[in-house]
Amino acid sequence: MKSILHIITSPRTDVSASRKLGNTVIEKIQEKYPDSIVKERDLTKNLVPLLEEKHINTFFSPAENHSTEQQSINAYSENLISELQEADIIVIDSPMYNFSVPATLRAYFDFTSRAGYTFKYDENGPKGLLNDKKLYIAFTSGNIYSEGPYQIYDSNVPYVKNVFGFYGVTDVSVFRAEGLSIPGIMENALEKGIESIVID
Ligand X SMILES: Cc1cc2nc3c(=O)[nH]c(=O)nc-3n(C[C@H](O)[C@H](O)[C@H](O)COP(=O)(O)O)c2cc1C
Number of residues that bind ligand X (CB under 6 A): 17
Taking alpha carbons only, the member of 159, 136, 180 closest to residue 23 is 136
The residue among 6 and 19 lying less far from ligand X, judged by its C-beta, is 19
The residue among 129 and 194 lying less far from ligand X, judged by its C-beta, is 194
Of the candidate spans 14-22, 23-31, 45-53, 115-123, the one that interacts with ligand X by CB under 6 A turns out to be 14-22
The residue among 108 and 167 lying less far from ligand X, judged by its C-beta, is 108
Instruction: List the one residue from 34, 98, 116, 132 that touches ligand X (CB under 6 A).
Output: 98
Question: Other C-beta atoms within 10 Å of 26: how many?
Answer: 18
Residue 187 burial class via C-beta count within 10 angstroms: exposed 0-12, middle 13-18, buried 19 and up: exposed
Instruction: List the one residue from 4, 5, 16, 23 that touches ligand X (CB under 6 A).
Output: 16
CB of 172 to ligand X, least distance (A): 19
Rounded CA-CA distance 140/8 in Å is: 13
- Is 97 a residue that touches ligand X (CB under 6 A)? yes
- Is 175 a residue that touches ligand X (CB under 6 A)? no
Taking alpha carbons only, the member of 173, 11, 167 closest to residue 84 is 167
CB of 20 to ligand X, least distance (A): 8
Instruction: List the one residue from 7, 92, 180, 194 that touches ligand X (CB under 6 A).
Output: 180
The residue among 81 and 177 lying less far from ligand X, judged by its C-beta, is 177
Rounded CA-CA distance 96/109 in Å is: 16
Dihedral class, residue 125 (left if φ above 0, else alpha if ψ from -120 to 50, else beta) = left
Range 113-152, binding ligand X (CB under 6 A): 140-143
Q: In terms of DSSP H, where are the helices of the chain?
A: 17-32, 53-59, 68-86, 103-112, 156-167, 186-195
89, β-bridge pairs: 4, 134
Residues in touch with ligand X (CB under 6 A)? 10, 12, 16-19, 95-99, 140-143, 180-181
